């Protein structure tokens, strides 16, 4: 298929997603800890299908702590068990996997590397180190100073614009979803899990997920494994409704551990920019979002042509 065909198809998909984006519904906010807020949004897609979204908003200039990914010895466990073992306040499931101990992409936890799988394509690496905001790298290797590494299937928000990769399967069907986003000012991290495959919530397509992240203030965002793997744990308790009826054992995870001794990100040393609050009743210092990151902007970005082995780009678990 040529590039013009892909560009036209992407434009149609993203325009349809914009029209079908869920309206603001029943929002219930709660405070988890200093700088950490939890949102449960119950609403409907434009076609009337119900959707339930769970969001954890982490202000790194208020909450002191560090990010932690799964080590090889901690793999093959549920998200809540990972949170219990590491003391993580927040945790979500990570990469797609081939067997409960084998993440498909690059993975590193607490500086310990999983055996790499060179035959798997992934869209990005989510990396973290002490005293720095987690970030996205579009390359195969992560420098050693990044002690925590989790592969993401694709970047779904890039510089404030939603992006869809035409080579990734399952993106246009509604499924449970897991995603992670960052604000433009480098102060806020957003964990999102969408319930799906039930009467209460049908899930989301990847374009719909991207628009959700952008609306929540994400300037950059990635998508992790979904389906029955999608789990958000708060204080080692599942807050979403896993589509399997119970938590699934997965290969790796991403968590945030509170630590008052942790070094705050460099972005917190600068004066805060103009912000908008997506929860009017929430304390302003709990959720700073840059106004530009919420501008109504959506643009397809054509992925480069490349071979895409179906058995590696998709997972029967999603």
Structure tokens at 260: 């008052």
**pLDDT over 70 at 135, yes or no:** yes
pLDDT band at 138 (very low <50, low <70, confident <90, very high): confident
- One-character DSSP codes across 224-292: ---GGG--EEETTEE-S--TTSSPPPBS-EEEEEE-TTSPPPGGGGSPP--EE-SSTTS-GGG--EEGG
Distance CA 43, CA 49 (A): 9
What pLDDT is stored for residue 9 in this prediction?
54
What pLDDT is stored for residue 276 in this prediction?
40
pLDDT band at 2 (very low <50, low <70, confident <90, very high): low
Sign of CA dihedral 79, 85, 89, 94: negative
Range of weakest confidence among 17-31, 122-136, 258-272, 294-308: 294-308
Pick the closest to residue 149 from 176, 207, 110 (CA basis): 110
pLDDT digits (tens, 9 = 90+) for 253-265: 999 999 999 988 8
What pLDDT is stored for residue 313 in this prediction?
26
Mean pLDDT of 114-131: 82
**pLDDT over 70 at 303, yes or no:** no
What pLDDT is stored for residue 88 in this prediction?
98
pLDDT digits (tens, 9 = 90+) for 49-82: 999 999 999 999 999 999 999 999 999 999 999 9
**pLDDT over 70 at 284, yes or no:** no
pLDDT band at 312 (very low <50, low <70, confident <90, very high): very low
Mean pLDDT of the chain: 81
Please state the φ and ψ torsions of residue 148, each to the nearest 5 degrees.
-120, 125
What pLDDT is stored for residue 182 in this prediction?
93
Structure tokens at 71: 């080590």
Max mean pLDDT range (161-165, 184-188, 206-210, 268-272): 206-210
What pLDDT is stored for residue 290 in this prediction?
32
pLDDT band at 140 (very low <50, low <70, confident <90, very high): confident
Q: Regarding predicted confidence, which is higher, 293 or 29? A: 29
Q: Regarding predicted confidence, which is higher, 184 or 57? A: 57
**pLDDT over 70 at 193, yes or no:** yes
Range of weakest confidence among 88-102, 190-204, 248-262, 274-288: 274-288
Residues near 151 by beta carbon (within 8 Å), at least 6 away in sequence: 94, 95, 103, 104, 105, 106, 107, 120, 122, 124, 125, 126
Percent of the chain at pLDDT > 90 equals: 59
Distance CA 44, CA 51 (A): 5
Mean pLDDT of 223-247: 97
**pLDDT over 80 at 157, yes or no:** yes
pLDDT band at 19 (very low <50, low <70, confident <90, very high): very low
């Amino acid at each position: 298929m040529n590039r013009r065909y892909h560009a036209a198809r992407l434009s149609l998909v993203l325009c349809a997603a914009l029209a079908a984006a869920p309206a603001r519904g029943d929002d219930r906010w709660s405070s988890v800890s200093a700088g950490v807020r939890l949102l449960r949004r119950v609403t409907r897609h434009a076609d009337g299908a119900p959707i339930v979204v769970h969001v954890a908003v982490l202000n790194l200039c208020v909450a002191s702590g560090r990010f932690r990914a799964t080590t090889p010895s901690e793999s093959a466990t549920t998200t809540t068990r990972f949170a219990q073992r590491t003391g993580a306040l927040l945790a979500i499931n990570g990469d797609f996997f081939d067997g409960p101990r084998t993440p498909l992409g690059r993975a590193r936890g607490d500086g310990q590397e999983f055996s790499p799988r060179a035959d798997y394509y992934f869209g990005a690496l989510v990396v973290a180190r002490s005293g720095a905001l987690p970030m996205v790298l579009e390359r195969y290797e992560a420098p050693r100073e990044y002690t925590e590494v989790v592969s993401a299937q694709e970047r779904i928000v890039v510089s404030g614009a939603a992006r869809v990769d035409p080579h990734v399967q399952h993106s246009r069907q509604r499924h449970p979803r897991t995603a992670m986003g960052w604000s433009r000012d480098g102060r806020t991290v957003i964990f999102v899990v969408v319930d799906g495959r039930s009467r209460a919530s049908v899930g989301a397509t990847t374009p719909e997920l991207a628009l959700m992240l952008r609306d929540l203030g994400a300037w950059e965002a990635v998508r992790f494994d979904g389906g029955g793997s999608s789990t958000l744990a708060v204080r080692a308790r599942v807050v979403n409704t896993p589509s399997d009826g119970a938590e699934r054992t997965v290969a790796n995870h991403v968590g945030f551990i509170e630590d008052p001794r942790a070094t705050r990100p460099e972005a917190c040393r600068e004066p805060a920019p103009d912000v908008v609050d997506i929860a009017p009743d929430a304390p302003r210092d709990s959720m700073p979002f840059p106004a530009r990151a919420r501008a109504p902007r959506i643009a397809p970005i054509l992925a480069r042509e490349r071979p895409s082995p179906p058995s590696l780009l998709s997972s029967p678990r999603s």
